[in-house]
Amino acid sequence: MKTVYSDLHGLQDAEAEFIRGKRVPSFEGPRRAELVLARVKEAFGLESVLERREFGLQPLLEVHDERMVSFLSDFWPRWSEENGAVDAFPNAWPPPRAHRRQTQRIGAELGRFCVDMSSPLMEGTWRAVSAGADVALTAQALVSAGDRAAFALCRPPGHHAGRDYFGGYCFLNNAAIAAQSFIDQGASRVAVLDVDYHHGNGTQDIFYDRGDVLCVSIHADPTKEYPYYLGYADETGEGPGADANCNLPLPWGSDYATYGEALVAGVSRIKQFGAEAVVISLGVDTFESDPISRFKLRSDDFLYLGKTIAKLNLPTVFVMEGGYAVEAIGLNVVNVLSGFEN
Ligand code: SP5
Ligand code: ZN
């Protein structure tokens, strides 16, 4: 399997995030992708890694609000002129029923789009995240040109980014952008299977009222875990998207015995739906030693995860999402991909 990678991800390099009132070193950083890349090269060979091609803004605007995309691309000069070269966190958010009229303060506008305190904007954010979207689109293009599968080694991740908001370390929804691209190339039904520990709230948000993209997410119970406000089993889609959303929340402490059952259920939903291609939001933060998560998957379990996904027998784009146990992230990702291939 080919892997698509761009080192521009390194421009998103947050020093810190805020967890339970404390400023702590960011769990999401460049080392994650570097370590995955190193393992991929060992497992699949140096020549299996390709640079991204550039696709421009249009594919981003198919799934994201134009105002958010231009906010992200134009943010830094305005912010740094006012505040200096300091990572940008919001400190105000519009309450429910607030006015939509634009303020004259960049920090106040930031709170309209940024939903939490884990995802600072910095000088290189736009270049990093637009390169990440191109990585996903390049992998999608390989698959649409006939490769059975490809791995988009995206960083930062994307599945928490909705149509017009970002957060959870995510800015542009790489998996949604790839899924939409299959549709734009003529597929009538596509599925996104999100195996990250956290609910793929952004992806769900983007496709919730659409019947052409089925979203299936297996994740920790949102009553206890980020993203909290979405990810419940009774969210099944609306309008033309009725019954095209499937959430499979699992309790803290779930191991592969429990996880594997949900995975088989999710995979059979995708078969039933009649998807012509699948995009996997590949987070490995379900790993037992993940520092911010509470599932109990072992490294070998990721082989089975990959094997089960392969049973779909569909053109498959893997898109990197979470996973913060950096010492094992490369092994866990490569296990999914190898399990899929063998
Ligand atoms: C893509 C992705 O995996 N994003 C995850 C964002 C999670 N942000 C909230 C983290 C809350 C951590 N709470 C538990 C801390 C244990 N020390
Ligand atoms: Zn996650």
- DSSP letter for each residue of 281-310: EE--TTBTT-TT----B-TTHHHHHHHHHH
116 alpha carbon, closest ligand? 1
pLDDT of residue 80: 98
Q: What would the pLDDT profile of 327-339 be if each residue is shown by its tens digit? A: 999 999 999 999 9
Q: What would the pLDDT profile of 61-92 be if each residue is shown by its tens digit? A: 999 999 999 999 999 999 999 999 999 999 99
Which regions of 141-290 does DSSP assign to beta strands (E)? Answer: 149-152, 190-194, 213-220, 245-250, 277-282
pLDDT of residue 228: 98
Taking a C-beta distance cutoff of 8 angstroms, is the pair 309, 316 a contact?
A: yes
Distances from the Cα of 237 to the Cαs of 72, 190, 233, 249, 277, in angstroms? 28, 15, 11, 16, 20
Q: Tokens representing 96?
A: 């429910």
Q: Pick the residue whose CA is nearest to atom 6 on ligand 1.
A: 168
pLDDT of residue 128: 98
The most distant pair of C-alpha atoms in the chain lies apart, rounded to whole Å, by 56
Strands 245-250, 277-282: pairing kind: unpaired
Q: What is the mean pLDDT of residues 286-298?
A: 98
Q: What would the pLDDT profile of 220-251 be if each residue is shown by its tens digit? A: 999 999 999 999 999 999 999 999 999 999 99
Q: What is the mean pLDDT of residues 182-205?
A: 99
Distance CA 246, CA 142 (A): 28
Which of 292, 319, 324 gets mutated to test ligand 1 (max ligand atoms within 8 A of its CB)? 292
Q: What would the pLDDT profile of 302-322 be if each residue is shown by its tens digit? A: 999 999 999 999 999 999 999
Q: Which of 160, 198, 199, 219 is catalytic?
A: 160
- Categorize the per-residue pLDDT at 143 as very low, low, confident or very high, splitting at 50, 70 and 90: very high
- Categorize the per-residue pLDDT at 290 as very low, low, confident or very high, splitting at 50, 70 and 90: very high
Q: What would the pLDDT profile of 169-193 be if each residue is shown by its tens digit? A: 999 999 999 999 999 999 999 999 9
pLDDT of residue 68: 98
- Categorize the per-residue pLDDT at 256 as very low, low, confident or very high, splitting at 50, 70 and 90: very high
Q: What would the pLDDT profile of 89-116 be if each residue is shown by its tens digit? A: 999 999 999 999 999 999 999 999 999 9
Q: What would the pLDDT profile of 151-162 be if each residue is shown by its tens digit? A: 999 999 999 999
State which residues have CB under 5 angstroms from ligand 2, the bound ion.
196-198, 283, 285, 322
Identify the burial level of 124 via C-beta atoms within 10 angstroms of its C-beta, where 0-12 means exposed, 13-18 middle and 19 or more buried. middle
160 part of the active site: yes
Strands 190-194, 213-220: pairing kind: parallel
Q: Pick the residue whose CA is nearest to atom 9 on ligand 1.
A: 226
Minimal CA–CA distance to 243: which of 261, 269, 225?
269
- Categorize the per-residue pLDDT at 27 as very low, low, confident or very high, splitting at 50, 70 and 90: very high
Q: What is the ipTM of this complex?
A: 0.95
Distances from the Cα of 123 to the Cαs of 84, 86, 87, 112, in angstroms? 11, 9, 8, 19
Q: What would the pLDDT profile of 116-137 be if each residue is shown by its tens digit? A: 999 999 999 999 999 999 999 9
- Categorize the per-residue pLDDT at 15 as very low, low, confident or very high, splitting at 50, 70 and 90: very high
Q: What is the mean pLDDT of residues 258-282?
A: 98
Q: Report all structural domains of the chain as residue ranges with CATH numbers, in order of start.
A: 2-341 (3.40.800.20)
pLDDT of residue 99: 93
- The set of protein residues with a Cβ atom below 6 angstroms from ligand 1 is 19, 118, 157, 160, 168-170, 196, 198, 226, 283, 285, 292, 321-322
Q: Percentage of residues in the chain with pLDDT exceeding 90?
A: 100
